[in-house]
Amino acid sequence: MTAASVDHVTVSRIIRSRRSIRHYRPDPVPAALLAELVDLALEAPSSFNLQARSVVTVTSEEGLRALTAATGGQPHPQEAPVMLVFVAESAAWREDRGDVWDTATHRGAWSERFAAASPDDTRLFYEDLAGRGLEREYAVKDAMIAASFLMIAAAAAGLATSPMNGWDEGEVKKAIGIDGRDDLHIALLMPLGHPAESRLHPGRRDRALTCFRETYGR
């Protein structure tokens, strides 16, 4: 079996076996592993490579209490040793992202011509989005892709996660120190830790109902 085949089998197994976990053991997540998982999340692609998303790691008692309140007392932030908050940055395109262009050029990923044109191309694209009220939507998409990367990476490391619903965005913003920032949005809350429960696969709908060729519904 080739290395590529082994990788495919491993990734397939991890994706198919990952479950959303609500209850966690208090065992801490090693700092080096946590840092690596966040780094892997930030390897996710983003629109124009703006990387308009950030991850806030919350491990303090005060921070976890605040997120518990923001989620209406759900068990995840009460039990998990780590809560991750994925922040979408809808105004990133208005900021100086010269480090992005410079890094891509220095690494040989982009030509100097492409990098030089990127600021204007990005501005024109996002000005159109802003005119249609879609800045937030695009930033949230990028943050959610990063969150998906982290869920898979965590499962591969033997840890559990769960993409959470049922939280108050304003209260989450207060908890992580961005209260009043209209340019920042909470895309997702995610507990991270060692599972204190196991969950069976609930199944997925028949592919004939959700997978189509060429046109939707056929």
In sequence order, the β-bridge partners of residue 55 are 86
Question: pLDDT tens, 148-176?
Answer: 999 999 999 999 999 999 999 999 999 99
d(CA 157, CA 175): 28
d(CA 168, CA 160): 23
CATH number at residue 144: 3.40.109.10
| Edge-first strand listing for the sheet containing 160-161 | 53-58, 82-89, 184-193, 160-161
Higher pLDDT, 2 or 83: 83
SS3 call for 3: helix
Question: pLDDT tens, 3-55?
Answer: 888 899 999 999 999 999 999 999 999 999 999 999 999 999 999 999 999 99
Per the structure, the count of domains in the chain is 1
Residue 180 counted as domain residue: yes
Q: Which residues contact 159 (CB under 8 A, 6 or more apart)?
A: 29, 33, 37, 192, 193, 194, 195
Q: Look up the pTM and report it.
A: 0.95
Residue 156 counted as domain residue: yes
Residue 63 counted as domain residue: yes
SS3 call for 163: coil
Question: Which tokens in the block code for residue 95?
Answer: 């900021």
Residue type present at position 202 = P
Task: Look up the domain containing 181 and give its range.
Answer: 24-95+136-198
